[in-house]
């Protein structure tokens, strides 16, 4: 165990997630280059000063040989990361299959894949077995590294089996589980063939967290309706104890974005962009290229807006950054071609020899480019069909202190519950509704923009990722201590 600045022992926090916050590139038989991703969870946990965090997860690469595995383990140890090695077949069945083709769409209300509905349960069954097996592999690694007093925080839909596996190893382990996606209505969850097994396992945790109160409520309803358990305002009674269930809305490291705007590189990017799009209003979409993000629907709404508002045709541009993701899953491949087709059609229809209405990029931007883009944007379009929270909306708000641009936000994103008062809320399935919102946003008077921005900016500044992580971890610690005290009484 490590000492803190005052020489006291720091409690260890084992953060278990499917993906480690690093990208690993193999340079030779026994050498790796690692890049830490500075994303949400990483900065959130850096802010939790009372704990010393270790990460356990998959490095996102296939390393079949022992030499490579040893070298990667050693390199990762310097970054306080511990790898779980998954072979190609497991990745295919567990990650591409059960996680991304079954749980992900189901939790976002897109239903189960067709072939599974038709009771050809063979592939479903094998994917489910791979999911259990992968979760057991994560549990083995956690168990090897666990020391008494550690707190274990499991993340997301990939690891719903983990709490149960961990408690089997050691019933005293403090285990929390947090879901970063929506938890759907119990009527949706009950269509899943393995609905009960997953609920039972999650209930083995001491604390179960969601981004919104609605998701927590859906989870409790699923436990009462599907498992016949007793729900209380605090959680679910399970095997003689209370599994605490609550909402912990995540935030961002807003200061990191605000500070970045003063950097010379960012200012230069901003100047370039302003020059490039002079005389036009900039609308922005930043999404992983995922069906839940509603990219085709968003672009169709933009087309409708251009169709009905000839005045705006040469005065507005939509920049859509679509970051490729899960490219081995066929649904994602289909989506990519679909988006390209729509963008091509609209640019063909409304473009001129020198300009096009939509700039679509299939890639990610570096942090500085992204901040500059957020800062020069007039209207951001976050129109997910469903989204656990959606932090792009937070990042945009953080970068808009000068411009006070408008956020158009899906009512089906968790963020609608926190930024709803400042944003224009839309139903992303309703193309007419979104097209109308685009017009409203572009024509909004400065006083109203300022009022709306202020509301959201205050929220984004005061509800940070650090605070989110700190609250969850300390509640997990306390929940376990309280439960121990209760059993002793
Ligand atoms: C969502 C999930 C995360 C996941 C991320 C990227 O935000 O909640 O758990 O890591 O998407 O997806 P990927 O499949 O590339 O890890």
Tens of pLDDT, residues 280-320: 999 999 999 999 999 999 999 999 999 999 999 999 999 99
Look-up of token digits 């599974």: 116
* pLDDT tens figures, 10-46: 899 999 999 999 999 999 999 999 998 866 677 777 7
| pLDDT at residue 484, as a whole number | 60
Q: What percent of the chain has pLDDT over 70?
A: 94
| pLDDT at residue 250, as a whole number | 95
- For residue 72, the 8-state DSSP code is H
Asked if residue 326 has its Cβ within 6 Å of ligand 1, the reply is yes
**Spatial CA neighbour of 177 closest among 166, 187, 168:** 166
The DSSP-derived string for 420-473 is: TTTSEEE-TT-HHHHHHHHHHHHH--HHHHHHHHHHHHHHHHHSBHHHHHHHHH
Cα(399) to ligand 1 centroid in Å equals 24
Take atom 14 of ligand 1 and give the residue whose Cα is closest: 326
**Spatial CA neighbour of 98 closest among 56, 139, 158:** 158
Asked if residue 96 has its Cβ within 6 Å of ligand 1, the reply is no
Question: Which is the closest atom of ligand 1 to the Cα of 95?
Answer: 14
Asked if residue 293 has its Cβ within 6 Å of ligand 1, the reply is no
pLDDT band at 101 (very low <50, low <70, confident <90, very high): very high
| pLDDT at residue 488, as a whole number | 56
pLDDT band at 436 (very low <50, low <70, confident <90, very high): very high
**Spatial CA neighbour of 377 closest among 239, 246, 280:** 280
| Tokens standing for residue 312 | 């705006």
Question: Which is the closest atom of ligand 1 to the Cα of 325?
Answer: 15
* Partners of 283 in beta bridges: 318, 379
Look-up of token digits 């997860």: 57
Asked if residue 180 has its Cβ within 6 Å of ligand 1, the reply is yes
Asked if pLDDT for residue 118 goes beyond 60, the answer is no
Asked if pLDDT for residue 482 goes beyond 90, the answer is no
Encode 163-184 in three state secondary structure. Answer: HHHHHHHCCCCEEEEECCCCCC
Asked if pLDDT for residue 437 goes beyond 90, the answer is yes
Asked if pLDDT for residue 3 goes beyond 90, the answer is no
Radius of gyration of the chain (CA): 23
Residues 6+ apart with CB under 8 A from 120: none
Asked if pLDDT for residue 98 goes beyond 90, the answer is yes
124/121 Cα distance (integer angstroms): 5
Q: Enter the ipTM.
A: 0.97
Pocket test for ligand 1, best of 18, 19, 107, 134 (most atoms within 8 A of CB): 19
135/130 Cα distance (integer angstroms): 8
Pocket test for ligand 1, best of 37, 160, 293, 325 (most atoms within 8 A of CB): 325
Residues 6+ apart with CB under 8 A from 66: none
Q: What percent of the chain has pLDDT over 90?
A: 89
Cα(168) to ligand 1 centroid in Å equals 27
Cα(157) to ligand 1 centroid in Å equals 10
pLDDT band at 212 (very low <50, low <70, confident <90, very high): very high
| pLDDT at residue 204, as a whole number | 98
When pLDDT is averaged across residues 86-97 and rounded to a whole number, the result is 96
Count of CB atoms situated within 10 Å of the CB of 398: 26
| pLDDT at residue 113, as a whole number | 85
Take atom 4 of ligand 1 and give the residue whose Cα is closest: 19
Question: Which is the closest atom of ligand 1 to the Cα of 155?
Answer: 9
| pLDDT at residue 163, as a whole number | 98
Question: Which is the closest atom of ligand 1 to the Cα of 181?
Answer: 8
Take atom 6 of ligand 1 and give the residue whose Cα is closest: 325
Cα(220) to ligand 1 centroid in Å equals 24
The SS3 of residue 106 is: helix
- Round the average pLDDT of the chain to a whole number and report it: 94
* pLDDT tens figures, 260-274: 999 999 999 999 999
pLDDT band at 414 (very low <50, low <70, confident <90, very high): very high
| pLDDT at residue 115, as a whole number | 62
């Amino acid at each position: 165990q490590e000492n803190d600045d005052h020489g006291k022992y720091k409690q260890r926090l084992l953060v278990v997630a499917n993906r480690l916050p690093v990208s690993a590139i193999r340079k030779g038989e026994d050498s790796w280059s690692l890049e830490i991703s500075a994303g949400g969870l990483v900065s959130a946990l850096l802010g939790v000063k009372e704990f010393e965090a270790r990460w356990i997860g998959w490095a996102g690469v296939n390393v079949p040989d022992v030499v490579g595995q040893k070298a990667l383990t050693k390199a990762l140890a310097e970054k306080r990361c511990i790898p779980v090695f998954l072979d190609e077949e497991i990745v295919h069945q567990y990650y591409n299959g059960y996680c991304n083709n079954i749980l992900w769409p189901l939790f976002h209300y897109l239903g189960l894949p067709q072939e599974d509905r038709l009771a050809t349960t063979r592939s479903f069954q094998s994917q489910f077995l791979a999911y259990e097996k992968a979760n057991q592999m994560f549990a083995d690694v956690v168990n090897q590294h666990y020391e008494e007093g550690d707190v274990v925080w499991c993340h997301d839909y990939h690891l719903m089996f983990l709490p149960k596996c961990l408690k089997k190893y050691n019933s005293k382990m403090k285990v929390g589980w947090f879901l970063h996606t929506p938890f759907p209505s119990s009527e949706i969850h009950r269509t899943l063939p393995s609905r009960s097994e997953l609920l039972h396992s999650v209930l083995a945790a001491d604390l179960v967290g969601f981004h919104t109160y609605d998701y927590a409520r859906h989870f409790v309803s699923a436990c009462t309706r599907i498992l016949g358990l007793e729900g209380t305002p605090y959680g679910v009674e399970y095997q003689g104890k209370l599994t605490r269930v609550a909402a912990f809305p995540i935030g961002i490291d807003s200061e990191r974005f605000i500070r970045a705007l003063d950097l010379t590189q960012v200012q230069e990017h901003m100047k370039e962009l302003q020059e490039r799009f002079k005389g036009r209003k900039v609308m922005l979409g930043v999404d992983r290229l995922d069906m839940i993000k509603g990219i085709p629907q968003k672009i169709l709404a933009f087309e409708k807006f251009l169709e009905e508002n000839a005045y705006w045709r040469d005065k507005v541009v939509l920049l859509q950054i679509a970051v490729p993701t899960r490219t081995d899953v066929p649904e994602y491949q289909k989506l990519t071609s679909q988006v390209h087709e729509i963008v091509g059609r609209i640019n063909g229809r409304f473009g001129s020899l020198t300009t096009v209405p939509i700039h679509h990029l299939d890639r990610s931007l570096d942090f500085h480019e992204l901040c500059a883009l957020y800062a020069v944007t007039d209207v951001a379009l976050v129109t997910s069909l469903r989204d656990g929270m959606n932090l792009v909306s937070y990042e945009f708000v953080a970068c808009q202190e000068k411009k006070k641009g408008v956020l158009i936000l899906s009512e089906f994103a968790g963020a609608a519950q926190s930024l709803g008062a400042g944003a224009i809320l839309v139903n992303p399935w309703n193309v007419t509704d979104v097209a109308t919102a685009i017009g409203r946003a572009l024509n909004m008077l400065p006083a109203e923009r300022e009022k709306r921005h202020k509301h959201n900016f205050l929220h984004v500044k005061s509800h940070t990722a650090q605070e989110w992580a700190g609250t969850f971890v300390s509640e997990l610690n306390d929940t376990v201590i309280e439960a121990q005290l209760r059993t002793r009484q």
